[in-house]
Structure 1
Amino acid sequence: MKFSENWLRQHVGIDATREELAATLTAIGLEVEEVVPLGEALEGVLVARIVAAEKHPQADRLQVCQVDAGLDAPLQIVCGAPNARVGLAAPLAMVGSRIGELTIEAAKLRGVESNGMLCSARELGLDGDGSGLMELPDDARPGMPLAEHLGLPDATFELKLTPNRADCFGIRGIAFDVAAACGSEIVEDGIDPVPAQTDAELEVRLDAGADAPRYLGRVICDVDATRATPPWMAERLRRSGVRPVSFLVDVTQYVMLALGQPMHAFDRDRLQGPVGVRRARAGEALRLLDGRDVVLDDGFLVVTDAGRAVALAGVMGGDDTRVGDATRSVFLEAAHFAPAAVIGRARRLGMQTDAAHRFERGVDPELPRQAIEMATRLILEAAGGRPGPVTEAVLPGHLPPPRTIALRRARLARVLGLGIADAEAERILRALGLAVEAETDGWRVTAPARRFDLAIEEDLIEEIARIHGYDRIPATLPGGATRLAGPGEGLAPEADLRRQLVARDYLEAVNYAFVDAALLARWNAAEGAVALANPLSAELGAMRTMLLPGLVDALARNAARQQARVRLFEIGKVFGSRESGIGNRQSGTAETTAPVEIARIAAVAMGAAAAEQWGSEAREVDFHDLRGDLESLAACAGAALEFRPSQRPYGHPGRSADVFRDGVAVGWIGELHPRLLAELGLDHRAVAFELDLAPLQQRALPVAEAPARFPSVRRDLAFVAPQQVPWAALDACVRKAAGPLLAGLRLFDRYQGKGVESGCKSLAIGLILQDKSRTLTDRDAEAVTERVIAALRDEYGASIRS
């Protein structure tokens, strides 16, 4: 935000020097990035008027001008500016004055005497325009010091505003903060209603609901649009970083800088009416003021005239209804558009405007009427005209209501660590434009509509702290007792899981939580993905529903950089709609429609199973290597995992499994599908897993038990079972049949080949039996063995191998 120092001082009376003002603004959170002094070295520069001009006898591009500088006789000046002409008023640097590093002296140019220099704005350091002489208004009095004529010296301040201080995108908003910090008063704005002088008006309609809850318009007839922008207004615009264009456009820009309310001026004769606001239709086209043609969708708001789009609401007006020198009647617009309806829209079109910059952050919904009245008065004073009545359309239910916040005296003292007198606290709040009502334990404060950032008690405390002065808050160490709470034993700490994977040769990766929606689609994981309303780029437009797409993408980038063996893991959150099922294990009510998030842990490996070494033969990492890593991770919480064949589309058929704990699905492990690897540009096999973090962390509290006093008994069995029966099913069958005497189960051999029927496999298991109260007999062991054999035979057709 750029503004003129002199302009600000007209809104708030302060005695502070320029340096003190800059320091005060920065101290209260309005960081001053740059201060550019203007007109401090204009001594000897006067207003002058060219009264005669003729071609230089020795140079085609030079003119010999006779200049009235308020002296007894005209001065002769040789000038090469293309706009030098009789009647032009321009700055004249007298002989002896200093412009930058140049001292003006009397000289002869191509044999003709010259007694001074007519100057451009750039030569005087007032503007960047050096294309010709700085043109002054016709009523400029020759001989007047230029600094006096232009209201100099002055300075341009540039503030680096935080997004929450949208109210400071207008001089008036900054003035409130300065008044509070300097203990001064705000100068009354003097914006009085302008009475209607004609019945001319346009009907206004609102069809965008909460996106556009207020719209005001006013017709002004018989306007002379050819009038030049008043010099004082043009100078304020220039010093605020805005180049004057034409009077009607400059008025809307001036009001925006003064109040913070964007406006637009339409040529009334190009409008049919009624004027309305609605959502754009898909494929609707509009030519903007800058000449570009844009195609819109229903994510944009448009201002309409008799149904056709004539402006991109909150961003830029349309070319068809623009004002120009031929304009005789103007329709002024001032509206309130909700930030959510404007944010990111200009960026989607590859542009940024002052209006969008303000509406995206929030504009006071009470400002439109003040802006209309102020613009009307400025137009009437400089260009004449007859105003019609102000037409307003409003949806009160969609306007942000006033926020009343309770501020407790004790809370204020506790947070700041010092006592602030009641009178000082009330002075600060009232100086900021807040309504304050004293109560027994503090105050009840109502925030003005322009302060979107004030919502809770801590916001008010921050306001008092920054105006009172952060440097006046003592640096005091906190005291008192602190309650220490150690982590519960019911969860394995994330740090333990990280250390376990690092110990198994994995590196931790940290990826963005937002990814390319097209990448999720490749993984068949786009269902329920939460799209970002204002993404950093198109490639980061959706919140991730899985960790693996980002993790495998990181693996691919490593592989592309000649890393043959890569092992990565990540712990992070995934996001999705509740309907997508991503949050089924997340606590919360079923009625909640907001997106949910859940913590996950994932790992991916590619290349050799072990680092390059000579002790064993090199082989590629496979499913069983990764399963061992996962089970070691589960061991941190004492978890027993179960693996069942998986049909997920990104998994290799027959080489992937869904992971269960206590019968509940918690994730997936397996080799990635070759087709997916090809799409991702990976030439090597990759194995991966991804599990919900919470169920993996849960562990039973440890219970101390005395060691068994009685010996265990082991019985080994070898049986033949159908090939398609997974070991997990056989394991569950054996444990159920063996009952409480089973202390352990070992699978120590698996065989297929000669001696075993085709389509079958031979498995050898060890049953470890033990009773805590007695020594088991052979009869006890045989009974358990027989139950196991019978259960395997009945359920899976397994038979003892002969």
Structure 2
Amino acid sequence: MKAPVSWIREYVDLPAELSVEDLAHALTALGLKLEALEKPGEDMRGPLVVGRVLTMEPEPQKNGKTINWCTVDVGDANGTGEPQGIVCGAHNFAPGDLVVVVLPGGLLPGDFEISARKTYGHVSAGMICSARELGLGDDHDGIIVLPEDAGKPGDDAFGLLHLRDEVIEFEINPDRAYALSLRGVAREAALEYAAAYRDPALRDTPAPNGEGYPVVVDDPAGCPVFVTRTVTGFDPSAPTPAWLARRVQLAGMRPISLAVDVTNYVMLELGQPIHGYDGDKLSGPIRVRRAGAGERLRTLDGVDRELSVEDLLITDDSGPIGLAGVMGGETTELSSTTSHVVIEAAHFDPVSIFRTERRHKLPSEASKRFERGVDPTLPEAAADRVAELLVRFGGGRIEAGVTKVGEAPAPRTITIGYDLPARVTGMDIPADAVVRHLESVGCGVRRDDTTLTAAVPPWRSDLSDPFDLVEEVARIVGYANVPSVLPPAPSGGGLTRTQRLRRRVGRALAGAGWVEVVSFPFVGQAELDALGLAADDDRRRTLRLANPLSSERPLMTTTLLPGLLEAVARNAGRGTSDVALFEAATVTLPRGGQGAAILPVDRRPSEGEYADLLKALPEQPWHLAVVGSGERLPSGWWGKGRHVDWSDAVAAVQEVAAALGVRVEVSADSVAPWHPGRCARLSVGEVVLGHAGELHPRVCAAYGVPARTVAAEIDLDRLMELAPEAVLAPSYSSFPVAKEDVALVVDASVPAAEVEAALRDGAGELLESIRLFDVYTGEQVAEGHKSLAFALRFRAPDRTLTEEETAAARDAAVAEAARRCGAVQRA
């Protein structure tokens, strides 16, 4: 909304010294957000004066153009009082006309400096100006001819043409529709400066009678009020007064003709959209109804539109003549021959106008106001104002007939406690101030002992509950006065155990070279199919979103692998195939129970209701997943690198488990999406945490990740539950280590992890570490068997071990492996 400051001052007695910047800042503090400040004429300087053409001599030129050598009386503006000689190429004026003249030394828009210069055989001392040259419009066909009462030669033209009118442009929020008018903006200015306010809508209007243009409203819900007035004998050729056209232009609209400009002017002034009909083109009574199936209308923009049965129409006996509150039709539009004007000022249902505008993609200045809510008491005053201006500037007479169908709804009332604004804002706002501020925004206030009841003004459709009134009081008192109180800091409890463990997990993986990512928790059936999950796999039991971001991914994920694999594929597609990623996040596992009940919002839920809400929530355990591809150790001048393999995925989980103080057991398994022969089950005792290994080739192909990509996924919540309260730092002995290597032959089907576990249990407390360093199959080992070589390291905390003690621990370890795994020690 663009509001010329001079127009605001017409309704409010603002301080004379008030700058446009201060006014804009004050109105912004009240809720009218400043969009821009415009200062027309800022790039111009004078002298720019009124001149009277004394003589005008046409002089044809060799190029076929005819110029006029003019003498112009500019009073004393040129310092001599003598007529000014000026060359002008326009022909739409005559001797005796008042024109606008810029004298040498003046500057016009576009940095066009005026000086006396010789042209067409004359010294032209200035220029007679057109509207375009002064930035007043696009008309460049002729110069500006002023009315006789515009002034006398030598008078300053800046004020006359409103060239110094400053304009404030506001971004009006949808809940402040009243500010889409100078009436509304001026009321806010009066509110801020406690200045006298003159409401332009307060005028004496004639009472409705049966002599006006007939109107029938078939849909009173869509059109509660419809008013018509009629002007006859109007002169369609009458020009729009310069001041009125300039105000319309400064407010952001294009001057067109007197009749159209007046309706736009009143809409900008009051906020009530107006429509004018050529009365000679109307056929029968005006009727307001919904469109019928198959009806069409050609609107003023020249588009033939197919109407919806939900569209609210203005019709006559010939059919539709306008989309109510949006745009009129071509058949009854005002034209250059219109002398009989029927004025429509109506109130329409905001929802209906909003839907019609969106349905036809037809935004207009009228619909922008109607869809936000217009004062329903305005139609009579607006129609009377339009009729008055049409007759004042275009002649004719206002017919006595006044039509009014319907009545504005009774004002709504809201009751609040005196202390509510103070309790909500934290400011000390006494009861008298609450009443005074509500009355200043237009509310009629009735006081009781502890409460007050406010009658909402008709232009404030946004006020609907007590807290809207609180906001009104707060913005007048000033949001800047809301106290800034620092809440007391509670005693520090530090991080919870879960938070500490999660951070420990992240640090452990980051230290091992894995990079954390965050992916979207949404999947579709295609992503689960790509993982190769069986139809009865629990991971296919998903929660479907009612309003997903993408129709292709409407499910909450039950596994973190799809997001990680997509990240790997995206990196590989951009040339980075050596990646090691991890993610710790929740997955969603439906419980299969009933949905949550919809509870009221006027109270806290009871304990039972809250418990039912929690039961309706799906399980959301934290999972940890890692995915690696490419080289784990890079190649270089130092030698060949190492490609990532299944053991890296297992090692990542073991790294995390070690950081939490838990030892994870590894055993063979076969679970999608891993390769059947390269899949490890990760567990602690009887608790299965998850799986790790190399992904199946079909999964790699489906996701577009490099071949032999590895992955692991575990239930992080379960792992953290198994973690001890404190992880003890390792203790070191200062005594020497005793080294023993053993090679054991076992059946090829026996996992190395089982042999290692047997050795560990048999060796006892002297065993410091155990490591598998060789796996051999060949001629020296029987067919169907394999040789596993382990490095055993023994150490005592308080002494140096003897050979006998070391040998006894080694033999005990081998004996346990023989008993549990059938292992035979190689010579």
Are 1:493 and 1:697, in contact at CA under 8 Å, matched by a contact in 2?
A: no
Distance 1:541 1:170 in 2: 46
Q: Aligned pair in 2 of structure 1 residues 44, 278: CA closer, same or farther (>3 Å)? A: same
Query: 212, 216, 241: which one pairs with 1:198?
Result: 212
Distance 1:517 1:171 in 2: 57
1:123 aligns with 2:136: no
1:530 aligns with 2:547: yes
What amino acid maps onto 2:375 in structure 1? L
Are 1:62 and 1:79, in contact at CA under 8 Å, matched by a contact in 2?
A: no
Q: Aligned pair in 2 of structure 1 residues 370, 119: CA closer, same or farther (>3 Å)? A: same
Q: Aligned pair in 2 of structure 1 residues 589, 375: CA closer, same or farther (>3 Å)? A: same
Distance 2:174 2:223 in 1: 23
Query: 12, 23, 33: which one pairs with 1:21?
Result: 23
In the alignment, which residue of structure 1 is the partner of 2:197? 186
1:177 aligns with 2:188: yes
Are 1:69 and 1:143, in contact at CA under 8 Å, matched by a contact in 2?
A: no
Query: 371, 378, 385: which one pairs with 1:370?
Result: 378
Are 1:4 and 1:154, in contact at CA under 8 Å, matched by a contact in 2?
A: yes
In the alignment, which residue of structure 1 is the partner of 2:440? 431
1:33 aligns with 2:33: no
What amino acid maps onto 1:185 in structure 2? A
Q: Which runs of 5+ in 1 are unaligned?
A: 207-211, 533-538, 575-580, 705-717, 722-747, 759-788, 790-799
1:9 aligns with 2:9: yes
In the alignment, which residue of structure 2 is the partner of 1:242? 253
Q: CA deviation at 1:106?
A: 6.0
Distance 2:241 2:198 in 1: 23
What amino acid maps onto 2:26 in structure 1? T
Residue 378 of structure 2 aligns to a residue in which SS? helix
In the alignment, which residue of structure 2 is the partner of 1:78? 87
Distance 2:132 2:681 in 1: 72
Alignment of 1:658-677 (within 5 A): none
Q: Aligned pair in 2 of structure 1 residues 112, 166: CA closer, same or farther (>3 Å)? A: same
Are 2:421 and 2:474, in contact at CA under 8 Å, matched by a contact in 1?
A: no
Are 1:119 and 1:134, in contact at CA under 8 Å, matched by a contact in 2?
A: yes
1:98 aligns with 2:133: no
Q: CA deviation at 1:218?
A: 4.4
In the alignment, which residue of structure 2 is the partner of 1:323? 333
1:589 aligns with 2:606: no
Q: CA deviation at 1:185?
A: 3.4
In the alignment, which residue of structure 2 is the partner of 1:63? 67
Distance 1:570 1:313 in 2: 57
Are 2:661 and 2:724, in contact at CA under 8 Å, matched by a contact in 1?
A: no
Distance 1:274 1:445 in 2: 36
Residue 437 of structure 2 aligns to a residue in which SS? helix
Distance 2:342 2:387 in 1: 11
Q: CA deviation at 1:127?
A: 2.9
Q: CA deviation at 1:562?
A: 1.9
Q: CA deviation at 1:5?
A: 0.4
Are 2:13 and 2:197, in contact at CA under 8 Å, matched by a contact in 1?
A: yes
Residue 433 of structure 1 aligns to a residue in which SS? coil
Moved more, 149-158 or 132-141: 132-141
The one-character-per-residue Cα deviations of 1:220-272 (angstroms, maximum 9, x if unpaired) are 55665935444333211111122123445444543443344556667784789
Distance 1:344 1:517 in 2: 39
What amino acid maps onto 1:127 in structure 2? L
Are 1:215 and 1:393, in contact at CA under 8 Å, matched by a contact in 2?
A: yes
Q: CA deviation at 1:165?
A: 4.6
Q: Aligned pair in 2 of structure 1 residues 302, 322: CA closer, same or farther (>3 Å)? A: farther
Residue 84 of structure 1 aligns to a residue in which SS? coil
Residue 241 of structure 1 aligns to a residue in which SS? coil
In the alignment, which residue of structure 2 is the partner of 1:563? 576
Query: 386, 389, 403: which one pairs with 1:389?
Result: 403
In the alignment, which residue of structure 1 is the partner of 2:121? 111
Question: How many pairs were matched up?
Answer: 703
Distance 2:48 2:313 in 1: 54
Alignment of 1:320-719 (within 5 A): 320=330, 323-325=333-335, 329=342, 334-338=347-351, 341=354, 345=358, 354=365, 363-364=372-373, 366-371=374-379, 373-375=381-383, 377-379=385-387, 381-382=389-390, 386=399, 389-391=403-405, 404-406=415-417, 408=419, 411-412=422-423, 415-416=426-427, 419-420=428-429, 422-436=431-445, 448=457, 463-469=472-478, 478=486, 482=490, 489=497, 499=507, 502-503=510-511, 505-509=513-517, 528-530=545-547, 556-567=569-580, 589-590=596-597, 606-608=629-631, 699=721
Are 1:45 and 1:92, in contact at CA under 8 Å, matched by a contact in 2?
A: yes
Are 1:608 and 1:620, in contact at CA under 8 Å, matched by a contact in 2?
A: yes
Distance 1:265 1:462 in 2: 38
Distance 1:252 1:49 in 2: 34
Distance 2:543 2:323 in 1: 32
What amino acid maps onto 1:200 in structure 2? P
Residue 246 of structure 2 aligns to a residue in which SS? helix
Residue 178 of structure 1 aligns to a residue in which SS? helix
The one-character-per-residue Cα deviations of 1:408-438 (angstroms, maximum 9, x if unpaired) are 268459724xx35554454334323345555
Are 1:434 and 1:447, in contact at CA under 8 Å, matched by a contact in 2?
A: yes
The one-character-per-residue Cα deviations of 1:528-555 (angstroms, maximum 9, x if unpaired) are 45268xxxxxx99999855888776655
Distance 2:356 2:45 in 1: 43
Q: Aligned pair in 2 of structure 1 residues 143, 441: CA closer, same or farther (>3 Å)? A: same
Q: Aligned pair in 2 of structure 1 residues 353, 646: CA closer, same or farther (>3 Å)? A: farther
Are 2:357 and 2:363, in contact at CA under 8 Å, matched by a contact in 1?
A: no
Distance 2:227 2:490 in 1: 63
Distance 1:665 1:388 in 2: 86
What amino acid maps onto 1:22 in structure 2? A
Are 1:62 and 1:80, in contact at CA under 8 Å, matched by a contact in 2?
A: yes
Are 1:77 and 1:114, in contact at CA under 8 Å, matched by a contact in 2?
A: yes
Q: Aligned pair in 2 of structure 1 residues 163, 275: CA closer, same or farther (>3 Å)? A: closer
Distance 2:276 2:524 in 1: 41
Distance 2:202 2:96 in 1: 35
1:233 aligns with 2:244: yes
Are 2:100 and 2:145, in contact at CA under 8 Å, matched by a contact in 1?
A: no
Q: Aligned pair in 2 of structure 1 residues 94, 134: CA closer, same or farther (>3 Å)? A: closer
Q: Aligned pair in 2 of structure 1 residues 342, 500: CA closer, same or farther (>3 Å)? A: farther
Distance 2:229 2:170 in 1: 35
Are 1:285 and 1:294, in contact at CA under 8 Å, matched by a contact in 2?
A: yes
Q: CA deviation at 1:14?
A: 1.3
Q: CA deviation at 1:21?
A: 1.9
Residue 205 of structure 1 aligns to a residue in which SS? coil
What amino acid maps onto 1:382 in structure 2? L
Residue 367 of structure 1 aligns to a residue in which SS? coil
Residue 183 of structure 2 aligns to a residue in which SS? helix
Distance 1:600 1:263 in 2: 62
What amino acid maps onto 1:205 in structure 2? D
What amino acid maps onto 1:433 in structure 2? G
The one-character-per-residue Cα deviations of 1:293-336 (angstroms, maximum 9, x if unpaired) are 7889x9x974446799887777x537655724066556555423
Moved more, 173-182 or 155-164: 155-164
Q: What TM-score comes out, normalization by structure 1 length?
A: 0.63
What amino acid maps onto 1:323 in structure 2? E
Are 1:107 and 1:113, in contact at CA under 8 Å, matched by a contact in 2?
A: yes
In the alignment, which residue of structure 1 is the partner of 2:169? 158
Alignment of 1:765-780 (within 5 A): none
Distance 1:541 1:140 in 2: 72
